[in-house]
Amino acid sequence: MNAALVQFKPRKGDVDANLAAMRAVFEQLAAGEPDLIVFPEAALTGYFLEGGVYELALTAPEIARRLDAAWRAVAPDRACDVVTGFYENAAGTFHNSAIYVRCGEPGGARIVHVHRKMFLPTYGVFDEERFLTRGRRLSVFETAFGKAAILICEDAWHALMSTVAALKGARLLIVPSASPGRGLCGVDELESNTRWKAILSAAAAEHGVYVVYAGLTGFEGGKGMSGGTSAFSPRGDLLASAPPLDPCIVRLRLDPEEVDLARATIPLLGDLGAVLPDLWLDPEIPVMRRLEDNE
């Protein structure tokens, strides 16, 4: 699978302008025949909208239709999978979501999956849960590469999320993110990006999965988004990364055989599947004790 990760700088609150910018990205990439293009969290509007999400949120079918039209305008004879973050209006309930769309098929856009962010940060500079409803399920879905899952930003900071996705069969984790930059770590490296790389590398190595991360960039209300777009092999090795802050595209090739080899040589996921029932049913875990008390 030929993948392209887009470190994207949206125009805040301007869906039409951002779709036009996505089309320009498609024009740049189409000749290379990509199979998968990944944009960051909230790429269609910018991240810090607060109550503006209610005016700018769109339905998943509308997003799919407009992405499909943008792709067909530059590559009418070839299909491509596109992932982007957006604020979703689901019959009056609002979510921070990411959509996986198959664009360019003869029958029109096909929505493969919509993930609704489960961990909504509401601390520091973040105020998501005040305006949005969290998702309630982490699902995997079929792609040309194999089973995949989407984790949006803070979702990926909770190790259990990548574990659940891998146990459900995911071989590829897609992480759209809008992460403000913090601190400095070494030469030309943000401390926040160093932390992200450690989290993503660990998830990839433990579960034998590819992890691809697309970060928002630009400034919103004085807050600088850190970019940090990167990709990790099923052994946890950094395959490619973007410099912080500037819009750019990271291209890479994903080989499903690398997942098989990583899992065969370091079978941590198989070991986890065997031991998990004993861990999960441990009555000393408070949540399990509460479940037992309710039975």
Among all chains, which residue has been given the structure tokens 């291209």? 251
- The answer to whether residue 206 is domain-embedded is yes
- The answer to whether residue 278 is domain-embedded is no
pTM: 0.93
Residue among 78, 84, 48 nearest 63 (CA): 84
- The answer to whether residue 288 is domain-embedded is no
- The answer to whether residue 86 is domain-embedded is yes
pLDDT in tens, the chain (295 residues): 999 999 999 999 999 999 999 999 999 999 999 999 999 999 999 999 988 999 999 999 999 999 999 999 999 999 999 999 999 999 999 999 999 999 999 989 999 999 999 999 998 888 899 999 999 999 999 999 999 999 999 999 999 999 999 999 999 999 999 988 666 665 567 777 889 999 999 999 999 999 999 999 988 877 878 889 999 999 999 999 998 778 999 999 999 999 999 999 998 988 988 898 888 888 887 765 665 666 6
Q: What is the DSSP letter of 8?
A: B
- The answer to whether residue 284 is domain-embedded is no
- The answer to whether residue 186 is domain-embedded is yes
- The answer to whether residue 145 is domain-embedded is yes
Number of domains comprising the chain: 1
CATH of the domain at 108: 3.60.110.10
Which stretches of the chain are assigned E, i.e. beta strand?
Answer: 2-7, 36-38, 80-90, 93-103, 110-116, 141-142, 147-150, 172-177, 210-215, 217-220, 223-226, 230-232, 238-241, 248-253
Domain that holds residue 173: 2-263
Q: What is the dihedral of CA 151, 208, 158, 84, to 10 degrees?
A: -10
Q: What is the DSSP letter of 50?
A: G
